[in-house]
Structure 1
Amino acid sequence: MLTKTEDSEIVLGCERRIINAWPALSTLVVGDWVLRFANGYSGRANSATPLSYGAELDGAMLDLIEELYRADGLTPAIRLTPLVAEATRAAVLERGYRVKDKSFGQISPLAGFTASEEAELQIEARPSQEWTAGAAALQSGNKTHAGNLAAVIERVKMPAAFGTWLVEGEAVAFGMSVAERGMAEIGLICVHPDHRGHGYGRRIVQGLMGWAGAMGCHSAYLQVEQSNAVAISLYGSLGFRTLYQYETRILD
Structure 2
Amino acid sequence: MATDMARGADTDLVLACERRIVNAWPSPATLLIDDWVVRFAGGYSGRANSASPLKPGAELSENTLALIEELFRSDGLPPCIRLTPLVGAATLAMVKERGYVVRDASFGLIRSLDDVTAEIEPDLQIEARPSADWIAGVAARQTGIKADAGKLAAIVEGVRLPAAFATWLIAGEPVAYGMSVAERGMAEIGSVVVDPAHRGQGLGRRLIAGLMGWARAMDCQQAYLQVDQTNAVANGLYRSMGFQHLYAYETRVLELAG
TM-score (norm 1): 0.97
Query: Against the structure 1 CA distance between its residues 120 and 167, is the aligned structure 2 distance closer, same or farther, given a 3 Å change threshold?
Result: same
* Aligned equivalent of 1:92: 95
Tell me by how many angstroms 1:7 deviates.
Answer: 1.9
* Aligned equivalent of 1:143: 146
Q: How many positions carry a matched residue from both structures?
A: 252
- What CA deviation, in whole Å up to 9, does each residue of 1:167-214 have, x standing for no partner? 111100000000000000000000000000000000110000000011
Tell me by how many angstroms 1:6 deviates.
Answer: 8.5
Tell me by how many angstroms 1:20 deviates.
Answer: 0.1
* Aligned equivalent of 1:220: 223
SS at match of 1:49: strand
Tell me by how many angstroms 1:8 deviates.
Answer: 1.3
Q: Distance in 1 between matches of 2:112 and 2:68?
A: 36
Q: Distance in 1 between matches of 2:69 and 2:9?
A: 34
Query: Against the structure 1 CA distance between its residues 172 and 120, is the aligned structure 2 distance closer, same or farther, given a 3 Å change threshold?
Result: same
* Aligned equivalent of 2:171: 168
Q: Aligned runs of 1:68-217 on 2, under 5 Å?
A: 68-217=71-220
SS at match of 1:63: helix
Q: Distance in 1 between matches of 2:60 and 2:180?
A: 32
Alignment partner of 1:30 is 2:30? no
* Aligned equivalent of 1:230: 233
* Aligned equivalent of 1:13: 16
What percentage of residue pairs aligned between the two structures are identical? 63
Query: Against the structure 1 CA distance between its residues 158 and 167, is the aligned structure 2 distance closer, same or farther, given a 3 Å change threshold?
Result: same
Tell me by how many angstroms 1:65 deviates.
Answer: 0.7
SS at match of 2:16: helix
Q: Distance in 2 between matches of 1:106 and 1:53?
A: 19
Tell me by how many angstroms 1:103 deviates.
Answer: 0.2
TM-score (norm 2): 0.95
- What CA deviation, in whole Å up to 9, does each residue of 1:210-229 have, x standing for no partner? 00011000000000000011
* Aligned equivalent of 2:245: 242
* Aligned equivalent of 1:46: 49
Tell me by how many angstroms 1:116 deviates.
Answer: 2.9
Q: Distance in 1 between matches of 2:141 and 2:119?
A: 24
Q: Distance in 2 between matches of 1:15 and 1:95?
A: 25
Query: Against the structure 1 CA distance between its residues 141 and 81, is the aligned structure 2 distance closer, same or farther, given a 3 Å change threshold?
Result: same
Letter in 1 for 2:32: V
SS at match of 1:46: coil
Q: Distance in 2 between matches of 1:206 and 1:56?
A: 38
Tell me by how many angstroms 1:101 deviates.
Answer: 0.2
SS at match of 1:187: strand
Q: Distance in 2 between matches of 1:129 and 1:9?
A: 37
Tell me by how many angstroms 1:119 deviates.
Answer: 1.6
Tell me by how many angstroms 1:4 deviates.
Answer: 10
SS at match of 1:60: helix
Tell me by how many angstroms 1:117 deviates.
Answer: 3.7
Q: Distance in 2 between matches of 1:46 and 1:23?
A: 10
Q: Distance in 2 between matches of 1:117 and 1:86?
A: 44
